[in-house]
Structure 1
Amino acid sequence: MSTSTNEAHALEAPRSGRIAPRYTRNSSGGGNFEMFAWLFMRVSGVILVVLIFTHLFVNLVVGDGIHAVDFGFVAGKWASPLWQVWDLVMLWLAMLHGTNGVRTIINDYGDKKATRMWLKTVLYVATFVIIVLGTLVIFTFDPCVAGATAETLQEYCGA
């Protein structure tokens, strides 16, 4: 094969000037955000592995296993501030970790600036709503519901 044939079939390097980058670094000193986002993904990933596997071990292995997980089990767990904070940290880290990953995907594959803006707006609003609702559920959960039968109250509330 001749050199001219090889040059005709050569592939251009990605982003070699033919395609402009879709987003650029902020030149006003805020250019470290992507580095911190990258670092957050690594640190939160390691912490999430510990949180999730401990969560699974406590819920599925200790005691009666999966057969013990019911309303009363959750009520008993969330009666302890330790498990409330544990589940809260797991919720927040999982949501922020996932949001950062999806944000990166949107930045990489969003063709237009307006499309990226709208997709990220929807992502951020959904993340905010889930974090707020999840936090409220964890800290306002009350197994002693009004209008419950005496047996239910006795079982879950010790009344």
Structure 2
Amino acid sequence: MSGIVVESPRSPGDSGRLAPQYRRSKGKGGNFEMLAWLFMRLSGVVLIVLVFGHLFVNLMVGDGVHAVDFGFVAGKWASPFWQVWDLAMLWLALLHGTNGVRTIINDYAERNATRLTLKTVLYLASGTMIVLGTLVIFTFDPCPVIDGVKTVSTFCPAP
């Protein structure tokens, strides 16, 4: 070889610091990034349980996918257990995804204004989806009135 030596990106000569053009903040930044990293790992594990439980109940139990209709969902959401299950799955999935996209924005958006704009749009969209999803789960009427007739199912109270 020609004797070319490639220095380590953070060699002892530069005190292990990033060059100024690669620094975005001047302080340590607190524990937020560490907590976000930890949240991703923990929420991922919980989401695996929630999603596979959801899929098992919806696709494997009973008649499988052929039984999934309004009555199936209405019967499921008549139970507070399944409302909380689906709510936890919705919230964790949206927060997990939002945190992942936030990380991508931080990694690839170079200008502060671009980063702020993208994160604002992300947080507004995520917040809207969480609010709407929560409203759907908790305001869903499993015993609707259709053409003036109250639907009577096994999970509906007597008319």
TM range, normalised to the smaller chain?
Answer: 0.7 to 0.9
Q: Figure out how many residues of one structure are paired with residues of the other and give that number.
A: 151
Cα distance, 1:147 vs structure 2:
4.0
The match for 1:45 is: 44
The match for 1:138 is: 137
User: 5+ residue gaps in structure 1?
Assistant: none
1:58 equivalent in alignment to 2:79: no
- CA distance in 1 between counterparts of 2:109 and 2:83 reads 37
% identical equivalent positions: 64
Read off the aligned partner of 1:2 and give its amino acid letter. S
- CA distance in 2 between counterparts of 1:70 and 1:107 reads 41
- CA distance in 2 between counterparts of 1:19 and 1:25 reads 12
Q: TM-score, normalised by structure 1?
A: 0.84
Cα distance, 1:146 vs structure 2:
3.7
User: 5+ residue gaps in structure 2?
Assistant: 11-16
Q: Secondary structure of the equivalent of 1:154?
A: coil
Residues 25 and 31 in structure 1, CA contact (< 8 A), matched pair in contact too: no
The match for 1:24 is: 25
The match for 1:119 is: 118
- CA distance in 2 between counterparts of 1:37 and 1:25 reads 20
- CA distance in 2 between counterparts of 1:86 and 1:148 reads 32
Read off the aligned partner of 1:20 and give its amino acid letter. Y
The match for 1:2 is: 2
Cα distance, 1:54 vs structure 2:
0.5
Cα distance, 1:19 vs structure 2:
4.4
Task: Give CA-to-partner distance per residue, 1:34-55, whole Å, 9 cap, x none.
Answer: 0000000000000000000000
The match for 1:105 is: 104
